[in-house]
Amino acid sequence: MTTTVTPIADSLRATYRSGATRPLAWRRRQLEQMIRMLDENEAELLAALRTDLGKPTVEGFITDLAFVTGEIKGMIKNLEKWNQPQRVSSPIVTQPARSQLRPEPLGVVLVIAPWNYPVQLLLVPVASAIAAGNAVVMKPSEVSAATSQALGRLVPRYLDSSAIALVEGGVEETTELLEQRFDHIFYTGNGTVGRIVMAAAVKHLTPVTLELGGKSPVIIDRSANLKVTARRVAWGKWLNAGQTCVAPDYVLVDESVKDEFLGHLSAAITEFYGADPHASKDYGRIITDRHFDRLVHLMNSGQPVIGGVSEATERYISPTVITDVATDSPVMSEEIFGPILPVLTITSIDEAINFITERDHPLALYVFAEDKQVVEQVLERTTSGGVTVNGTLLHLTNPNLPFGGIGESGMGGYHGESGVRLFQHMKPVLTRGTAMDPSIAYPPYTDRKAKIFRRIL
């Protein structure tokens, strides 16, 4: 290959080995510069997001820009605290001694981002890696080309290019990056590419974090507040035109309240996007023609009861709800990642729980119920990357909750302190005093010593 990836990786490793990324002052400066980059170039980045995804201005600001600055401000506030050694107790056999865990950076980190939230899902893990003291290679998605190009221009202007590099490009560049030896690889995307990333990492025994996806279910119990439920499901589903890894993928609703829920859902869509969502400035578009064609095909898996309209020129698909969906249909066999919501009925919470547990662990799970026993049953008997009760998406907005998947939906979690820890090694250090040096610890091992060992060990 003829790209410049290898020299970039080598240069960043030399910078890391020099110790330049370790001082907290350097880390703080890079984080502050990242905020400045977003603030001073807000209009350019929002325009890029609109070009790539038809992303509404307010939505782009909230989900891509403000989300990142909020995370970074938390890192700056806690930078010293999170990077201090942590004292731990020392057992009697080590005495006289003191023990601690010293957080240290891993080295040179690779962050590969997806196209659906191309600012947030690149910069939050990058900021975490910087706060942890690493050098970083950033790889934005070539699919969100306008945003990739904007970041490609801005990152070298604001961040220390000797330690932080952005590599644009497609499969060729990503393949060459994966051939390099990194100290951690952070990938957000689909499971197919996740397996390629993991296979490449094996060659160097590089640890990986995989933020994948899956079919995130919504359970609606008969005790749920249906009007509120419908609004919150509609918001979570049709944000970014459904192109969100934790978007509600399908609904399991108690058959006794299905029709009422659908009525409220239709009203919520009209409230949010008007009678014609195509004309709404608050509703996005599908990223590429290929994804558009795939989603139009998936709509044929059921009967549209809301929406079902598509327009290829603008890659527009209306907020769509389908019923009469077979559980083995295409729309129930793959992650939808678009504005189509299958609604299936259940007769009991047990049925919903069994339906979910028979499938791969989802990245997110949502349960709506006023009955606390129902909620507890779902939490106790299902496994998922994260859960929001009586809401959607919001568990990932709390920096005190690590965000990540399990099984097919990924491995490893980040955000807040969890994100910084992800890119660090907590080095155990035991320091012994020399004023005392009890001879009991050394041979010869007499019967008397053996008796003492049995008492204290």
Q: Which residues are catalytic?
A: 211, 245
Could you tell me which of 241, 246, 38 has the C-alpha nearest to residue 147?
38
Q: Is the peptide bond before 444 cis (omega within 30 degrees of 0)?
A: yes
Distance CA(238)–CA(273), nearest Å, equals 10
Backbone angles phi and psi of 48, in degrees to 5: -65, -40
Query: Can you tell me whether residue 365 is helix, strand or coil?
Result: strand
- Residue 69 contacts by C-beta under 8 Å, 6 or more apart in sequence? 35, 38, 39
| Pairwise CA distance, residues 245 & 226, whole Å | 24
Rounded to whole angstroms, how far apart are CA atoms 234 and 251?
11
Cα separations (Å) of 273 from 226, 234, 282? 20, 11, 7
Rounded CA separation 83/198 (Å): 28
- Pairing verdict, β 316-317 and 310-311: antiparallel
**Measured distance CA(318)–CA(279) in Å, rounded:** 10
Q: Tokens standing for 220?
A: 């609606």
The answer to whether the CB of 27 falls within 8 A of the CB of 133 is yes
Residue 362 CA: distances (Å) to CA of 49, 154, 212? 27, 35, 10
DSSP run (H or E) holding 38: helix 24-40
